[in-house]
Amino acid sequence: MYLRFALLFTICLPAYRQVSAENDAQPLRVYFIGNSVTDTIRYGAFAELAESRDQSIIWGRHMIPGAPLEWIYDHPDSGFAEQPFGHYPKALGEFTWDAISVQPFDRHLHGKNEKGEERGDVEMIRDLAERAAKKNPEVQIYIYARWPRITSSGKSLEFDKNDYDPANPGSGADLSKADSYADRFNAKYTGGWDATNETRDYFDQLLDEVRAVTPFLEKPPKLVPVGDVMLALHKMMQAGQVEGYTSIYQLYRDGIHLNEMGSYLVGCTFYAVMLNQSPVGLPTEPYGTLDPVIAEIVQKTVWKVVRPRPSVYDGLPNIPMKGQTRRR
């Protein structure tokens, strides 16, 4: 009997050690580059989401309010940063990261500065990816595919903090005059200054071009499809499937920033993509006092969007399966 138990223990011990090692997850090291739209993630709250499932996150950031990647790149010592990592030159040059999140904003795929230097989003992301890859060739680059601004007749609305937040009584928000979110996000990228550089088509083209110029990466870049999640939720709201909501613009705090539920949506989307796990059942407390019913709808919508699009979100080449069309 003793020998039989000892033999069984010897056989099972390696498997036990393997499971224990898998459960003992290493911290995920993530560096964020962007403006206040990137801050919408709420880094500490995002880390708490992961910690609720025994995954720790170490994060750093380089954030300049209102800045596109070009501006951040050309102002390497300006803006907000976390110590000991600092701004992007030090963070990417001296530290090893598992993931880098980059947020395109108000620029085009390609473009030159006054000196004739390439400063389009493709080149900016390529350069940042190359810096990070020198410390870790397996670094995963994430392109933050955000949502469009609220516009009316194609023009951005003038706004002040909370102007368009329905939770703020008397704010004067008139969403009936806003352009359709679906029309805005589904518009084709034209290459002009017509706000089509904040559409799905822009981010899809950006992903394709960034993948083409980063052969040095062992993992192809991915999208974090926040704008797509918001479109899916918007359609549900319009169909009367989300009580109290008729438009995704109700998650906006002003003409571009999001409220607490909007930030939770962003956090859940980053969680689903970066950790490759369903966000259903994640806590809401890190993001404030949220309606649990709406939060659950957000969680399920995130997973519904992220899970079935492996060609875009899991790092595989953006090639259509048989019988499918390219994601455009």
CATH number of the domain within which 78 lies: 3.40.50.1110
Q: What is the pLDDT averaged over residues 6-15?
A: 47
Q: Which residue has the tokens 């589904």?
A: 186
- Share of residues in the chain with pLDDT > 90 (%): 77
Give CA–CA dist 285/263, Å, rounded: 12
Q: 31-60: per-residue pLDDT in tens?
A: 999 999 999 999 999 999 999 999 999 999
Model confidence band, residue 230 (pLDDT cutoffs 50, 70, 90)? very high
Give CA–CA dist 45/25, Å, rounded: 19
Give CA–CA dist 146/195, Å, rounded: 13
Q: Where are the beta strands (DSSP E) in 164-303?
A: 222-224
Give the pLDDT of residue 163: 65
Q: Which residues contact 187 (CB under 8 A, 6 or more apart)?
A: 195, 196, 199, 201
Do 268 and 282 meet the contact criterion of CB atoms below 8 Å apart?
Answer: yes
For residue 21, tell me if it sits in a domain: no
Q: Hey, what are 114's tokens?
A: 């006054």
Q: 162-195: per-residue pLDDT in tens?
A: 666 666 655 556 778 899 999 999 999 999 999 9
Model confidence band, residue 261 (pLDDT cutoffs 50, 70, 90)? very high
For residue 273, tell me if it sits in a domain: yes
Model confidence band, residue 131 (pLDDT cutoffs 50, 70, 90)? very high
Average pLDDT value over all residues in the chain: 88
Domain that holds residue 171: 26-313
Give the pLDDT of residue 315: 39
Cβ atoms < 10 Å from Cβ of 252? 26
Give the pLDDT of residue 292: 98
Q: What is the pLDDT averaged over residues 61-79?
A: 98
Give the pLDDT of residue 308: 75
Give the pLDDT of residue 176: 82
For residue 312, is pLDDT > 80? no
Q: Which residues contact 281 (CB under 8 A, 6 or more apart)?
A: 299
Do 221 and 212 meet the contact criterion of CB atoms below 8 Å apart?
Answer: no
In what helix (H) or strand (E) does residue 297 lie, and over which residues does it extend?
helix 292-306
- Share of residues in the chain with pLDDT > 70 (%): 82
For residue 68, tell me if it sits in a domain: yes
- For residue 266, which of 227, 294, 304 has the smallest C-alpha distance? 227
Give the pLDDT of residue 177: 86
- For residue 274, which of 86, 183, 141, 165 has the smallest C-alpha distance? 141
For residue 20, tell me if it sits in a domain: no
DSSP string, 226-258: HHHHHHHHHHHHHTT-STT-S-GGGGBSSSS-B
For residue 62, tell me if it sits in a domain: yes
Give the pLDDT of residue 162: 63
Model confidence band, residue 123 (pLDDT cutoffs 50, 70, 90)? very high
Give the pLDDT of residue 207: 98
Give the pLDDT of residue 101: 99
Cβ atoms < 10 Å from Cβ of 3? 7
Domain count across the chain: 1
- For residue 144, which of 130, 128, 164, 159 has the smallest C-alpha distance? 128
Q: What is the pLDDT averaged over residues 202-219?
A: 98
Q: Hey, what are 171's tokens?
A: 């704010």
Give CA–CA dist 259/217, Å, rounded: 35
Give the pLDDT of residue 155: 85
**Tally of residues, the chain:** 328
For residue 35, tell me if it sits in a domain: yes
Give CA–CA dist 236/87, Å, rounded: 40
Backbone angles phi, psi at 58, to 5 degrees: -105, 125
Give the pLDDT of residue 254: 87
For residue 10, tell me if it sits in a domain: no
Give the pLDDT of residue 318: 38
- For residue 125, which of 210, 4, 231, 230 has the smallest C-alpha distance? 210
For residue 328, is pLDDT > 50? no
For residue 247, is pLDDT > 50? yes
Q: What is the pLDDT averaged over residues 141-166?
A: 82
Q: What is the pLDDT averaged over residues 286-310?
A: 93
Residues 126, 128, 131, CA angle at the centre, nearest 5°? Answer: 110
For residue 110, tell me if it sits in a domain: yes
Give CA–CA dist 199/236, Å, rounded: 20
Give the pLDDT of residue 161: 61
